[in-house]
Amino acid sequence: MLLRSPGPKNVCYMTPSTFTWRFKLILKKHGLPENLNVHSLRHTNASLLIAGGADVATVAGLLGHAQPSTTLDSIAMPSIKTSVRQA
């Protein structure tokens, strides 16, 4: 559920298109590549967690992946994949 400024009964829902539009504004404002999407943040988060020493199985659980290998296949940093698979 995406929320924005309170409205009737102090709850307003943000449509996915509004969220995406706002996300693109943030990217532009901060000089980030405009081809990024919200899903790319999910991959970045997984990569950073694993790079920081989090267990791959734990990260897989957070992402809703049944298999840790699915998580390793989706992370953005190839050097992390190599070091984790060698461990």
pTM score, two decimals? 0.62
* Span 11-65, pLDDT tens digits: 667 778 888 898 999 999 999 998 888 888 888 888 889 889 999 999 999 999 9
Instruction: Give the residue among 56, 53, 47 at the shortest CA–CA distance from 79.
Output: 47
d(CA 12, CA 69) in angstroms, rounded, equals 38
Taking the CA atoms of residue 70, residue 73, residue 75 and residue 79 in that order, the dihedral angle to the nearest 10 degrees is: 130
d(CA 32, CA 24) in angstroms, rounded, equals 9
Residue type, 84: V
**Residue 75: its pLDDT value, please?**
76
